[in-house]
Amino acid sequence: MSAAADEPAIIVTWLKSLGLTKYEALVYIALLRVTGATATEIHEISGVPRASVYPVLDQLHAKELVSVSQSSPKRFAALPPDEGIGNLLSRIERDAERAQEALWSIYRQRPGRESGEQELIWNIYGIAAIQKKLAELLAHATGRIQIIAHPRLFSDEIKRILYHRAHDMSIEIVTFQWDGERPDHMKIFIKNPPHIPKELDHAKDMMAGGVCLIDDRIVMVVMGSGEEDAVALYSESGGFVRFFTRYYAVITDWAKKPDS
């Protein structure tokens, strides 16, 4: 079979991945070949059954891929590919955002684990993957964010999210260096790290990490900041959260005291 003969099938597959049905894809492709056509003409050039043409055209119009004239009989025209595909992508993005918010709402409403049940702790490797997961958790926080961390953990994306979320929730950060904005509505405590004995110099990079508490419900613990050697654990288990909440309280009590 020639490449030209294969082309429509390939395009149909691509359009189906963008949310079109096979018939919708065939009709849109057919309309791109002409300046305009009636439903009967569309049936003839697309191969879509006559009874299906009008429902398909209604769907394409709703998806902002075709325009329709008010003449009799009605004539239909395809929007240019850049505009049509742009409309599809915008629709997908809107639907994805709505789905994500709805799913997060369901996720947050999960019942707490009963005492004695298995408590899950997840791990992530590599600083980029850790920062990506932390950014996701911060973006969906609903009440409070508390972080003790090495400056390397705060990517530009994480700082951007923190600046944005600080307008509607409590954010507290303990670190020994903060580059960038320091909004009045964010509590940032700059504290020099404790002295590390010379014999532990080789372990300094692995000590670069932090503890992040989100909504008193999720904890992420990070060790290291290298692309390969960084590792993080995160969990919603009650025991894990209680342990690191106490750890956080001890560190912040120290951080809030003036340096001697």
pLDDT, tens digit, 9 for 90 and up, residues 234-259: 998 888 899 999 988 888 887 777 76
Mean pLDDT computed over 35-41? 92
Q: Which of 218, 220, 197 is nearest to 148 (CA)?
A: 220
pLDDT value of position 260: 56
- pTM as predicted: 0.58
pLDDT the model gives residue 4: 40
Domain boundaries, given as residue ranges, for the chain? 3-86, 121-255
Distances (CA, A) of 23 to 84, 103, 145: 16, 31, 49
Is the domain covering 121-255 a CATH 3.40.50.150 domain?
no
The angle at the Cα of 111, spanning 110 to 112, to the nearest 5 degrees, equals 115
Q: What would the mean pLDDT of 94-119 be, rounded to a whole number?
A: 73
CATH pick for 3-86 out of 1.10.10.10, 3.40.50.300, 1.10.3720.10, 3.90.1150.10: 1.10.10.10
**What is the distance between the alpha carbons of residues 36 and 205, in angstroms, rounded to a whole number?**
66
Among 60-64, 123-127, 251-255, which range has the highest average pLDDT? Answer: 60-64
Return the amino acid letter for 125: Y
CA–CA distance, 26 with 48 (Å, rounded to integer): 7
186-210 pLDDT tens trace: 888 887 766 655 554 544 454 568 8
Helix (H, G, I), strand (E, B) or coil at 198: helix
The tens digit of pLDDT for each residue in 70-89 reads 888 889 999 999 999 999 99
Q: What is the residue type of 146?
A: Q
* Rounded CA separation 118/123 (Å): 16
Contacts of 114 (CB under 8 A, 6+ apart): none
Q: What token pair was written down for 192? A: 């020099």
Tokens of 187: 């509590």
Average pLDDT, the chain: 84
